[in-house]
Structure 1
Amino acid sequence: MMPITLLLALAVVVSLPWWLPGRVVALRVRVFNRINGDEGIPVPGDLVGVDRFKEVYSHPAAGGRSKGAALSDLFWYWLAPGPEMHQEHLEAGERYDAVARTTRGLLAVPRAEAEELTRRCAARTLEGVRGLVRLRDVMMPLWAEFSYELVFAEPCPREARELIVGNANDVVTSLKCTSLRHMGRRNRLTRYLLGRLPRVRVPLPAGLSPQEQAYYLHGAFFTTAVVQMSEAMAHLLMVLAQHPGVQDKARTGDDRYLDHVIAETLRLYPLFGIAHRITTGEIQLDERTAIPAGAVLCFNYPEFHRAGFTDPGRFDTSRFDRPAKELNHIPFGVAANRACPAWRLAPIAMRAAAREILHRYALHSSAAHTRSLPNRGPCLLTPPDASRPPRAALAFMRVRDRWEDVWRSFVQLVLGTYMVWDARRQRLCERHFDHSVED
């Protein structure tokens, strides 16, 4: 008969995936907070409630992007090289205005053209893809080619696609603390873009050096655009994979229904977690209370998106039978505080990509689906007219995903702690602005 101690040990080992990852993640959060310090004002929170979230986010004084926040050192570290030229982190002024105009010009694509471009890129990159996949990995080549054609108005060469995907994957895995940065991989893309600057289909800002122009393209189109579109599509496809009724209706339904599926996906799984902004002036809340200049406001998208909804963790497309502007729903930010420049193009491209994928596949997944998506979206792709997927395949996926969570939580703890410490040590943002003042 097996000793009781051995049975207990076996029970502990078998149960690890159900309790250990959560505790390791909680430890990682405490470590991060210890290293970073507590500099932010949470919104919504005790000072600013849900009812004033948009009001404060839209305030003219809530527009500082990087200067003066220790958190900026961390994001600059993860977005290097050239974070000082990343459109999301440029401070207001002539340089930002010039960059924003160029971005709008590159994104100003007619709807039919954007849909055709998406279908064309999907057809090329999905050829031969089937079986057990990671959805984010499948999506990255598609959006790499899409972004390349937006910028250069010509098909994406294989060499360029590999450079773009390698860079984007490196950025997102370091952001999720599942891998360290590999700056050589990122710098190779910058060097490639330097040689392609004359081929950009709209004039680049004249006030920027060639290196700065390359960094701008690198950050806006070949990092943020590829990463965010790949993440958004992975979330959308995971939702479809885990809600068969929604998938069937999306496959045969109209665009309005699919738009609601996309909107509800971005409500449940917003691409932004915390967006920090630095106040450039005082924000008066009432006669006695004001947020001072230089404060760091941490706008919590997931919490805001859950507020005001019945059973907010449930996927329900009917929430968007009402106009989205009446809901706590800002997947692309707010217009008054530099909303995502792809707010119009992204949903059009996502819908076209979803249509192409649903035409080719039925999707099935039993893996965990969380906002951070560190598992990259495990999914089984089968022909759309195939019979139900083997239960064994989904059982294997579920067990594998649970056990991956165990080792991944430790990897994130170790690598994340190192990167947060290294970012604080390098102080990329703080040094940049200190140097600017000296100049």
Structure 2
Amino acid sequence: MKVIPVLAAAAVLTAPRWLPRRVVALRGKVFELVNGDNAITLPDERFGPEKFREIYSHPNAGGRSEGAGLSDLFWYWLSPGPEVHQEHLEAGPRYDDVARTTQRFLAGSSASLAATAARCAAAVLDEQVRRDVTAVRLRDLMMPIWAEFNYELVFGEPCPRPARDLIVGNATDVVDALKCTGLRHPGRRARLTRYLRARVEAGDVVHELPSTLDTTEQVHYLQGTFFNTSVVQLSEAMAHLLLVLAQHHDVQRRLAANPSDERYFSHVLDETLRVFPLFGIAHRITTGDIDVDERTTLPRGSVLCFSYPEYHASGHQDPEVFDPSRWAELSAKDVPHIPFGIAANRPCPAWRLSPLVMRAVAGEVLRRFRLDSSVRHTRSLPSRGPCLLVRRGAPERATAAVLGFLRVRDRWEDVERSLRQLVLGTWMVLDARSQRLAGRYFEPPPGCPAHRPA
């Protein structure tokens, strides 16, 4: 009878090693199961990396929301206004109108965009990091920077602190729900919605908003595109990049010594997004049959779950190893690497903007601080990237003890966080399935066979 307590104690003590990985695997499996029998995950034993890009690029792999159980979950997480979220709009006049508007906001010279990003970063870093040695969560540190940057894109003026707090609160709420580390807080999101509605009705937006959307939809478009997706994705990407630098000091030293070396920075960023892609699974719905070969057809209505981590790991020697030097002889277009999607299937609208503004912000961080971290670096980064910032020029201090504490704390936080993700994730999956936001949206009104207009 003594065996059971011993085994239980061993399971608890070793939980930091095995539990987080099991939870991540389980979440991936849940994403597949939510769609039922019509879900196909790529790449797999049938469709290897060579077929991944071909299928991803196919014109009939363009459905975004209609007909996928997984859409109910993402619409639930991205509310309010998921029906006008650019990533989830079906092809048609409304999508074209929204996409053109987004590009107007993102237009501008590389120099001016980089200068704006650097200025926002400098202001936030000087405000929030005042000690010589500071422990931070990198995602949290980056959020206000990108909140201010996107505010200037939309309103053409510096971001006041109350507005920044609303934006950061909204973006944090969305990304915590997506990672199942926290439940949604609709009231917190609604406060930003009310603020944006007042600005839209006052005519304060620097570009004309999509004419195919009513006022409420225009507000939701701004909130979803610039103050949700853009802030979240740029903060996540920067957290990965800075955590990589904190754990690869040779790369950090080279970038800090040569901040104008655009080529080396692009190698570092490509490798960061290869090892730690921002998306785990991207789902698409086939709007027509896809003939893969003479024996295989993916029927209309299939839900294609594209696994970025699996695809990015294929075709590379030691794919789990972070090695920017591999890109000295590789081209992103010739290897399995799609950090911003594929041109034939709605690439990220900020594919040009993101690298140049990320380099500007990284330069501001490295000019001020040396980075160090001892935590586990995973693709989903639910820890938000614990890291030490040591001010350059400050007296040398022993940080080994602090790094040791961060390492131990991170391992045990992983256990608590994994259990929380299981509980909250289960709750939100069930709640999303009961609400059926996407499913109900695409259901025709009684007596009308037509679908909602695109």
TM over 0.5: yes
TM-score where L is the length of structure 1: 0.95
CA distance in 2, matches of 1:183, 1:9: 39
Match of 1:157 among 148, 157, 160: 160
CA contact (8 A) 2:34 2:69 kept: no
Is the alpha carbon distance of 1:22 and 1:333 closer, same or farther for their aligned partners in structure 2, counting shifts above 3 Å? closer
CA contact (8 A) 1:61 1:282 kept: yes
What CA deviation, in whole Å up to 9, does each residue of 1:300-326 have, x standing for no partner? 111111100000011111221122211
Listed as ranges, the matches of 1:288-303 within 5 Å are 288-303=295-310
Structure 1 residue 362 displacement after superposition: 0.5
CA distance in 1, matches of 2:190, 2:74: 17
Structure 1 residue 17 displacement after superposition: 2.1
Percent of aligned pairs with the same residue?
62
CA distance in 2, matches of 1:389, 1:238: 20
* Match in the other structure for 1:233: 238
Listed as ranges, the matches of 1:305-316 within 5 Å are 305-316=312-323
What CA deviation, in whole Å up to 9, does each residue of 1:258-288 have, x standing for no partner? 1211111011111111111111111111222
CA distance in 1, matches of 2:332, 2:247: 24
User: Could you list the runs of 5+ residues in structure 2 that have no partner in the other structure?
Assistant: none
SS at match of 1:362: strand
Structure 1 residue 214 displacement after superposition: 0.3
* Match in the other structure for 1:113: 112
Structure 1 residue 53 displacement after superposition: 1.4
CA distance in 2, matches of 1:89, 1:40: 18
What one-letter code is carried by the residue in structure 2 that aligns with 1:308?
A: G
CA contact (8 A) 1:31 1:417 kept: no
User: Could you list the runs of 5+ residues in structure 1 that have no partner in the other structure?
Assistant: none
SS at match of 1:143: helix
What one-letter code is carried by the residue in structure 1 that aligns with 2:217?
A: E
CA distance in 2, matches of 1:422, 1:393: 41
CA contact (8 A) 1:274 1:301 kept: yes
Is the alpha carbon distance of 1:46 and 1:36 closer, same or farther for their aligned partners in structure 2, counting shifts above 3 Å? same
CA distance in 1, matches of 2:309, 2:361: 25
CA distance in 2, matches of 1:56, 1:438: 26
Structure 1 residue 15 displacement after superposition: 3.1
What one-letter code is carried by the residue in structure 1 that aligns with 2:101?
A: T
CA distance in 1, matches of 2:300, 2:376: 41
CA contact (8 A) 1:87 1:220 kept: yes
CA contact (8 A) 1:176 1:372 kept: yes
What one-letter code is carried by the residue in structure 2 that aligns with 1:40?
A: A
SS at match of 2:40: strand
Match of 1:407 among 389, 413, 416: 416
Deviates more, 1:229-238 or 1:205-214: 205-214
Structure 1 residue 39 displacement after superposition: 3.3
Listed as ranges, the matches of 1:225-374 within 5 Å are 225-253=230-258, 254-321=261-328, 322-374=330-382
What one-letter code is carried by the residue in structure 1 that aligns with 2:171?
A: A
Match of 2:190 among 167, 187, 192: 187
What CA deviation, in whole Å up to 9, does each residue of 1:21-78 have, x standing for no partner? 3445555556666665343111112332211211111111111111011110010000
Is the alpha carbon distance of 1:273 and 1:16 closer, same or farther for their aligned partners in structure 2, counting shifts above 3 Å? closer
What CA deviation, in whole Å up to 9, does each residue of 1:200-233 have, x standing for no partner? 1111112211100001011110000000000000
SS at match of 2:80: coil
Listed as ranges, the matches of 1:361-400 within 5 Å are 361-386=369-394, 387=396, 389-400=398-409
CA contact (8 A) 2:98 2:210 kept: yes
TM-score where L is the length of structure 2: 0.92
- Please say if 1:93 is aligned against 2:92: yes
Structure 1 residue 188 displacement after superposition: 1.1
CA distance in 1, matches of 2:219, 2:334: 40
Is the alpha carbon distance of 1:110 and 1:35 closer, same or farther for their aligned partners in structure 2, counting shifts above 3 Å? closer
CA contact (8 A) 1:32 1:420 kept: no
What one-letter code is carried by the residue in structure 1 that aligns with 2:317?
A: T
* Match in the other structure for 1:75: 74
* Match in the other structure for 2:172: 169
What one-letter code is carried by the residue in structure 1 that aligns with 2:385?
A: G
CA distance in 1, matches of 2:3, 2:294: 67
Structure 1 residue 340 displacement after superposition: 0.3
CA contact (8 A) 1:32 1:417 kept: no
CA contact (8 A) 1:134 1:376 kept: yes
